[in-house]
Amino acid sequence: MLGLILLFPLIGFLINGLWYAVLQAPQGRKKAGSLATGLVASSAIFLSFAVGVVAFVQLAGMPEGARVIENNLFSWIKVGGLSLDFVLRVDPLSSLFVLVIAGIGTLIHVYSIGYMSHDETPGRFFAYLNLFCFSMLVLVLGGALPLLFLGWEGVGLCSYLLIGYWYQDIEKAKAGKKAFIANRVGDLGFLLGMFLIYTTFGTMDFSALREVVVQRFGGMAPAGAELAAVTGICLLLFVGCTGKSAQIPLYVWLPDAMAGPTPVSALIHAATMVTSGIYLVARLDFLYALSPTALEVMAWVGGLTAFVAATIAVVQTDIKRVLAYSTVSQLGYMFLACGVGATGAGVFHVITHAFFKALLFLGAGSVIHGMHEEQDILKMGGLKKHMPRTFLVVTVAWLAICGLPPFSGFFSKDEILWMAFASNQGNRVLWALGLLTAMMTAFYMTRMWIHTFMGSERFDHHKVHPHESPIVMVAPLYVLAVLSAAGGFMGVPHASWLAHWLEPIVPHVVPAEGVNHSMEWVLMAVSVAVALLGMFAAHRLFRDLRRPEALKARWAFIHKVLWNKWFVDELYEGALIRPIGRVSQALWRGFDVAVIDRIVLGFGRASEWSGQTLRLAQTGSLQAYAVFLLLGLVLTLGYMIYGLV
């Protein structure tokens, strides 16, 4: 059964890929439209979702603590003492990710039918989408680290193909390359961590690894060399997470990923690639729990990433770029939760974030589609009356990400802030950092919402005629709006179905001793008040556009720093990219050209010279050839006589 979850999107990829290669790529052939190719791709991923629902129902009917379905498809790797089968395994954790990936993926596929209707090569686009979902499903269903890494690399490849989908534009091609290279840096850490796991524990299968860790440590904290090894493993794997899930210092690729089509942005940011790191940490929660140092590093990296990305989002004017930095910030929230030991809260935020962030990106795509590809929110305004359905669903997503009850984002955000305050691994500084980020999130999302839908119209009516998107694009938004509004009730505090469901894989974290439970209600009220404060401040500031302009002029230096994204890209350019480029140029000229090329060309010239010389012997004269034969016979006879003597 689990093989079918992978098989359907793989078949969709092959059908659309071959359809494109045979019917669309050759010149002069009739091109297939987005409807036909989109239906194939959407049906494929929907079938995976249907099988995922069946697996989820079967798990729910099993005894608690024994909820595992496993399919051993074939023997995969046998090298020396390493024997690894291609095992797919679904349990409470992976079942949730399968439903999110395939469910949200289906909605994005259907939406893409309308969004890509004017594209020249929709078959290629939908083939990439199906391959993306296939790779992500391999990642979450893999029963061992190498299989997870196979999917991990697959989504990295697909992100490169989809971000640079319009590769004729050099900037979009560069964005795809940037994503690919940044992820390769992180993947080196993943590989080293995986190798260290095998040398330390002798297995890379998740179930066997858990058993070995439990038997070796028995719930006791390791010490000495074993603690160093565990900490090293956790930190190396977290390096991989900083690449795939866009954390400091490797987050720089994700905002540039906006170069791809908007459905790609929704798929990468909401349901698939960027959640890979959270899944890896949750899958190895039993290992991370043994290393306080690794948890502390993760918590601070996550908290700082959330804060820094939020400060950048405050000044962005590209609607997709605002949402991109919002994603980086929300991912920081998730790692903050994992770092303070509340991995379940991090997984909860993955799910709610998938709902409202997919809705925000697809809603932004609807706005861009209706505004004839305009993405600057300063050139919008007043779209509420032109796009009422899009306005309604984006408003739901806006309230969810701002963290207002009873919308989904409130429950998961509040759980993270509470654990940052109350858990043994948390502290007041991390809580304050998360709270400040929550206020900025409400501020910049309200700013985007006001600039886009409210106020006066700031676009050229002679060139732009806003219109509502077709039903094939709006219908998925309604589904996501319902999930964004009600999805948080799966994790209601003290009665959380989600925490109970994940308990066998990710144990629920209780507050530290001495923390009063009544404080949770106080902090909940504080988080709501802070969100309302951010929304109110944005409303007061941006209802008259002269106010933010005056503020920008007054704080010009700070605005410049934030507008240029803290100059991190420039820092990388000056500290790494240019020096590496200069060294590479020097090596190319000094070694490749001066040594390798001369050696290769020298052999070529020697062959040419010897050939030109020896061809002089080919005179065409029979008498000359007879003389050469005679000389050869004389020399051969002389050699034989000399040997006998």
Q: Any idea where the domains of the chain sit in the sequence?
A: 291-508+516-562, 568-644
So what's the pLDDT on residue 27?
A: 53
Please compute the mean of the pLDDT values over residues 359-364 and round it to a whole number.
Answer: 93
CB 145 within 8 A of CB 70: no
Residue 247, sorted as left (phi over 0), alpha (psi -120 to 50) or beta, turns out to be beta
So what's the pLDDT on residue 154?
A: 93
69-79/82-90 β-pairing: antiparallel
Amino acid symbol at 469? S
Please compute the mean of the pLDDT values over residues 510-524 and round it to a whole number.
Answer: 82
**How would residue 420 be classed by pLDDT, with cut points 50, 70 and 90?**
very high
CB 41 within 8 A of CB 130: yes
Least confident of 115-124, 240-249, 479-488, 577-586: 115-124
Output the six-digit token pair for 125.
């686009």
Please compute the mean of the pLDDT values over residues 334-356 and round it to a whole number.
Answer: 93
Contacts of 203 (CB under 8 A, 6+ apart): 209, 212
Please compute the mean of the pLDDT values over residues 533-544 and round it to a whole number.
Answer: 90
CA dihedral of 483, 322, 134, 3, whole degrees rounded to 10 = -30
User: What are the two backbone dihedrals, phi and then psi, of residue 445, each rounded to the nearest 5 degrees?
Assistant: -70, -35
Residue (of 110, 4, 7, 86) closest to 52 by Cα position: 4
Please compute the mean of the pLDDT values over residues 614-627 and round it to a whole number.
Answer: 81
CB 352 within 8 A of CB 409: yes
Contacts of 551 (CB under 8 A, 6+ apart): 541
Whether pLDDT at 32 is above 70: no
The residue assigned the tokens 């909860």 is: 348
Instruction: Determine the 3-state secondary structure of 166 from DSSP.
Output: coil
So what's the pLDDT on residue 612?
A: 87
Residue (of 295, 308, 298) closest to 252 by Cα position: 308
- DSSP classification of residue 534: H
So what's the pLDDT on residue 28?
A: 47
So what's the pLDDT on residue 426?
A: 82
**How would residue 462 be classed by pLDDT, with cut points 50, 70 and 90?**
confident
Whether pLDDT at 479 is above 50: yes
The three-point CA angle 408-412-418 to 5° equals 140
How far is 273 from 180, CA to CA, in rounded Å? 12
So what's the pLDDT on residue 24?
A: 56
So what's the pLDDT on residue 322?
A: 93
So what's the pLDDT on residue 516?
A: 78
The three-point CA angle 144-155-113 to 5° equals 130
Whether pLDDT at 495 is above 80: no
> How many Cβ atoms are within 10 Å of 500's Cβ, its own excluded?
13
Residue (of 253, 276, 277) closest to 265 by Cα position: 253
Residue (of 487, 483, 478, 475) closest to 42 by Cα position: 475
The three-point CA angle 315-320-321 to 5° equals 40
Please compute the mean of the pLDDT values over residues 543-569 and round it to a whole number.
Answer: 86
How far is 316 from 548, CA to CA, in rounded Å? 13
Whether pLDDT at 30 is above 70: no
Residue (of 273, 282, 291) closest to 334 by Cα position: 282
Please compute the mean of the pLDDT values over residues 340-350 and round it to a whole number.
Answer: 92
How far is 44 from 607, CA to CA, in rounded Å? 58
For residue 406, is the peptide bond before it cis, meaning its omega torsion is within 30 degrees of 0? yes
Whether pLDDT at 159 is above 50: yes
pLDDT in tens, 184-219: 999 999 999 999 999 999 899 999 999 999 888 877
How far is 455 from 300, CA to CA, in rounded Å? 39
CB 335 within 8 A of CB 250: no
How far is 251 from 235, CA to CA, in rounded Å? 17
pLDDT in tens, 569-608: 889 989 888 999 899 999 888 888 889 988 999 999 999 9
Q: Which residues pair with 79 in a beta bridge?
A: 82
Average pLDDT, the chain: 89
Please compute the mean of the pLDDT values over residues 615-625 and round it to a whole number.
Answer: 80
Whether pLDDT at 544 is above 50: yes
Amino acid symbol at 436? L
**How would residue 447 be classed by pLDDT, with cut points 50, 70 and 90?**
very high
Give the chain's length.
645
Contacts of 208 (CB under 8 A, 6+ apart): none
CA dihedral of 359, 364, 369, 375, whole degrees rounded to 10 = -170
Q: Which of 42-56, 483-497, 614-628 has the highest mean pLDDT?
A: 42-56
pLDDT in tens, 131-150: 999 999 999 999 999 999 99
How far is 101 from 138, CA to CA, in rounded Å? 11
**Cα-Cα-Cα-Cα dihedral sign, residues 113, 118, 123, 126:** negative
Please compute the mean of the pLDDT values over residues 615-621 and round it to a whole number.
Answer: 79
Output the six-digit token pair for 462.
């002679």
pTM: 0.89
Percent of the chain with pLDDT over 70: 98
Exposed/middle/buried for 639, CB within 10 Å: 0-12, 13-18, 19+? exposed
**How would residue 157 be classed by pLDDT, with cut points 50, 70 and 90?**
very high
CB 571 within 8 A of CB 327: no
How far is 370 from 457, CA to CA, in rounded Å? 14
Percent of the chain with pLDDT over 90: 58
What's the Cα-to-Cα distance from 103 to each of 53, 138, 241, 330, rounded to whole Å? 10, 16, 24, 21
Residue (of 104, 98, 102) closest to 69 by Cα position: 98
Whether pLDDT at 617 is above 80: no
So what's the pLDDT on residue 358?
A: 92
How far is 259 from 606, CA to CA, in rounded Å? 51
Please compute the mean of the pLDDT values over residues 491-518 and round it to a whole number.
Answer: 83
Q: Which residues pair with 82 in a beta bridge?
A: 79
pLDDT in tens, 323-338: 999 999 999 999 999 9
Please compute the mean of the pLDDT values over residues 309-321 and round it to a whole number.
Answer: 93
